Amino acid sequence: MEDNIFDIITNYSVNEGINKISLEDEEYRKIQKEIDEKIKRYKQLGLTKEQRLEVDRLISAHTASGACYGRITYRKGFHDCVSLLQEMGLIRAA
């Protein structure tokens, strides 16, 4: 199934545009630094391969959930903005 223009804009904004913005955000950079520190501690735990895989699977699931949540909230905000502009008479419904 081919993406519609709204899906293309959403995917670009979430996957491409937000990366530049997030790297300029102080809070985001602080969280990334904390993640780097946690990774160092994680590597020092001496977990077995199976334990590491389970932790990685858990982290991957959380990451996927967060990415999905971000896409959902972006789309909702975009829809709300369009509705507001329509209500204000600045744009017409298609």
Residue 70 domain-assigned (yes or no)? yes
Residue 93 domain-assigned (yes or no)? no
Backbone angles phi, psi at 88, to 5 degrees: -80, -10
Q: Write down the pLDDT at residue 75.
A: 87
Q: Which domain holds residue 26?
A: 5-87
Is residue 67 within 8 A of residue 15, CB to CB? The reply is no
3-class SS at 24? coil
Q: Tell me the pTM.
A: 0.66
Backbone angles phi, psi at 18, to 5 degrees: -70, -25
Q: Write down the pLDDT at residue 57.
A: 97
Residue 94 domain-assigned (yes or no)? no
Q: Write down the pLDDT at residue 43.
A: 93
**What are the mean pLDDT values of the chain's consecutive 10-residue runs (94 residues total)?**
71 75 90 95 96 96 93 89 91 81
Q: Write down the pLDDT at residue 1.
A: 45
